[in-house]
Chain A
């Protein structure tokens, strides 16, 4: 029964995610004019005087981002003749005889043929159907690293194996030869202590901002200045470097510098930077705000329920009404003004940066304000509900005093629906707070969405939609699981039937 429920629930969640992403995909890629992605691309501006290159650059970019299939003469010639031969040079000249075959071949395949404005050389392009792109997006979403990754033709002699070993800092590791990553699984002293590269998410490539980076790396890699430290390399030598040696990837060609540092081709290493990632900043900020919210909202709500109708209750209600009815933007600015005028706190996060406590105070408070209000309201309501229940009357008749009744009966019962919301709030921390981060220019996940929208970074938008949706679904699911632990009456399967 229980198992069947979980299965159904997971299937339903997956379907939800699929549907949402499909809808967002269709909306973004079919309704937003594709020219707009170049609105903030400097390269295109530089190519303003060279219409041929400009058009080809656009075509290549669209191809890279998956909008179209694109073919031009140079690729076509390369497929016909050997590199460096006279024939290929002749083929690449505008007006060559192969152009006719090119046009025929691709017209036959349903491509649209265009001619470059100056050289009149033909190019062929075909729109890729949205459905196909959605399917491909999901197919390439999860990626497993295997020893078959490294090109077999280029490196026929490479030994391909998975083996136990140690990291340069002495942690345990499962290593790989032939995979994309050298360290598949390893331990170190930083949270969460066990890390893996076996399975990775491919959320697409960022463009035009953070050009040609993986979207996931943009939001999850550390930011800011390089954090250079004395690093022990695999061969034992030490030097000042910002390389993260456990996150090195295979590189087909090594340059001289690489050869000095590395014994093998795993030389494409991540750079450790000083500031946390976007996700990290949002998460830290969210968790602080959450602690503030629960630390203040719960006790104040309790106090309000105890003095129902009294002064504390009324003051609390004034605050709740203020937060509920006043647009968040207005009160965020109000508190920003208070903080900067009376406490001289910075009004922009980057002013003092990540490492300064002062930077965090105002954003965290403004993030906590609405949560405090809603926790106060709900705690009060649940407490009052419980206080009027028969078992509390009976507990009083049993002779328990007020404190015992609160502690043993009312609070425990009132906390159940509140506990249900904790995972959602915690998950929400990862996705950040759109309003707060925008107002305080915090470089977190929340600010990423409006930024991506304003810069027409479509891949980023899709990726963020995916993350937001997935995380919120997981949060709600965990919340439901949690209440089955605290409340013996509820089993998820029954809840399902109750509908």
Chain B
């Protein structure tokens, strides 16, 4: 009985205990990692993507593939060979090894895709951040943006590659010369939206340093939207390279390019379908896996998905 009555005495009041209940520990980066890893399919795609990218980067170093070098051009017996142990993907119309060719092409596509995205993002984020924070810059930049955004990109890209000639440097220049401004505009809008959110004003009023506001409040939000943007930007840059090269305007004859291969092998689609389908499939696989991983990273880096 005494034990029972003991229950009816006042309990110790612990204020910390009461705070503890609904606020579990939270670390942004750990949560990003946990959310990302929790999706097994995406992890598999990610591993696959890393293998493909590494292979595309390393294989050409050993094969030294050069599209201008075709020693078997006069040897009919080494043309149009089907896939075999010697030539995994077979050979093309002038006896070049397709396996070496597609990986060299994939490497160039990836360099263009990642390189241009990197340049555009760095330029765009820096300019966009300044643009979003400064009203003075905004007045001018918005006019520049209006003019630039009125020019169809494909038109500009084609004219520029016509004018500058084909090649790695000019292609990267073309794909960056105006595209960063779209990134900057996007970042500007995001910065403007987040900057004026109540929680940031509140943080500011509480005396939180600008640095903390940027790293704790703004950055986690921006990382997610930037990742979303990147996941679309890389495949789209790869696509532009392929397309321009297809028209003979992107990479020159001296560089291996999947676009150029696709365009050159179109005519063998019925006779030697592997020549056409292997580059196309590789291109599709690389782009899709990059996109999926990017989207998953974007989701994982959005604090709202963290549990």
Contact = CB atoms under 8 A, between A and B. Distances in A.
Interface of A: 12-13, 15-17, 19-20, 24, 27-28, 31-32, 321-322, 324-331, 333-334, 337, 431, 434-435, 438, 449-450, 453-454, 461, 464-465, 468-469, 472-473, 476, 499
Interface residues on B, range: 35 or more
User: Which residue, B155, B243, B249, has most C-beta atoms of chain A within 10 A?
Assistant: B155
B194 interface: no
24 contacts: A13-B150, A17-B150, A27-B160, A31-B163, A32-B163, A324-B232, A326-B283, A326-B287, A327-B239, A327-B259, A328-B243, A329-B243, A330-B280, A330-B283, A330-B284, A333-B266, A333-B276, A434-B154, A434-B158, A449-B158, A465-B159, A469-B151, A469-B152, A473-B150
B246 interface: yes
Contact of A326 (B150, B162, B243, B288): B288
Nearest to B151: A20
B214 interface: no
B247 interface: yes
Contacts of A12: 143, 146
B8 to A, nearest CB: 46
B82 to A, nearest CB: 19
Contacts of B159: 24, 27-28, 453, 461, 465
B288 A322 contact: yes
User: Which residue, B159, B235, B239, B247, has most C-beta atoms of chain A within 10 A?
Assistant: B159
Contacts of A16: 146-147, 150
B44 interface: no
B239 A321 contact: no
B153 to A, nearest CB: 10
B154 A27 contact: no
A322 B285 CA distance: 10
Interface in B177-204: none
Contacts of B143: 12
B83 interface: no
Contacts of A13: 150
B266 A20 contact: no
Given A32-B163, A435-B243, A326 B262 contact: no
Given A27-B160, A31-B164, A333-B262, A326 B155 contact: no
Nearest to A328: B239
B287 A472 contact: no
Interface in B114-161: 142-143, 146-147, 150-152, 154-155, 158-160
Contact of A329 (B142, B151, B232, B239): B239
B242 interface: yes
Interface in B231-256: 232, 235, 238-239, 242-243, 246-249
Contacts of A431: 152
A234 B257 CA distance: 60
Contacts of A472: 150-152
A453 B162 contact: yes
B300 interface: no
Contact of A499 (B142, B259, B276, B288): B142
Is chain A's interface secondary structure helix, strand, loop, or mixed overall? helix
Interface of B: 142-143, 146-147, 150-152, 154-155, 158-160, 162-164, 232, 235, 238-239, 242-243, 246-249, 259, 262, 266, 269, 276, 280, 283-284, 287-288, 290-292, 295
B241 to A, nearest CB: 8
Nearest to B290: A325
Nearest to A321: B291
Contacts of B247: 438, 450, 453-454
Contacts of B292: 321, 325
Contacts of A325: 235, 287-288, 290-292
Contacts of A328: 239, 243
Contacts of B162: 28, 32, 453, 461
A392 to B, nearest CB: 21
B231 to A, nearest CB: 8
Given A16-B147, A16-B150, A454-B247, 6 more contacts: A32-B162, A327-B283, A330-B242, A333-B262, A334-B280, A438-B247
Nearest to A438: B247
A32 B160 CA distance: 10
Nearest to B241: A327
A485 B231 CA distance: 36
B285 to A, nearest CB: 9
B147 A327 contact: no
Nearest to B231: A325
Contacts of B147: 15-16, 19-20
A40 B232 CA distance: 39
A37 to B, nearest CB: 12
Contacts of B155: 449, 464-465, 468-469
Nearest to A461: B159
A472 B156 CA distance: 13
A326 B284 contact: yes
A343 to B, nearest CB: 15
Given A325-B235, A326-B235, A453 B158 contact: yes
Contacts of B269: 333, 337
The 9 residue pairs across chains A and B that have the minimum distance between CB atoms: A325-B291, A327-B239, A325-B235, A31-B163, A325-B287, A326-B284, A453-B162, A16-B150, A327-B242
A27 B163 contact: yes
Contacts of B246: 329, 438
Contacts of B163: 27-28, 31-32
B249 A453 contact: yes
B259 A329 contact: yes
A476 to B, nearest CB: 8
A455 to B, nearest CB: 11
Contact of A327 (B235, B248, B249): B235
A234 B88 CA distance: 73
A333 B263 CA distance: 10
B38 to A, nearest CB: 18
Nearest to B237: A327
Nearest to B276: A333
B146 A329 contact: no
User: Which residue, A28, A449, A454, has most C-beta atoms of chain B within 10 A?
Assistant: A449
A20 B150 contact: yes
A468 B238 CA distance: 24
Contacts of B262: 329-330, 333
Contacts of A32: 162-163
A434 B156 CA distance: 13
Nearest to A333: B280
User: Which residue, B142, B146, B259, has most C-beta atoms of chain A within 10 A?
Assistant: B146
Contacts of A499: 142
User: Which residue, A17, A324, A330, A450, has most C-beta atoms of chain B within 10 A?
Assistant: A330
A114 to B, nearest CB: 27
Contacts of B287: 325-327
A390 B155 CA distance: 43
A465 B158 CA distance: 10
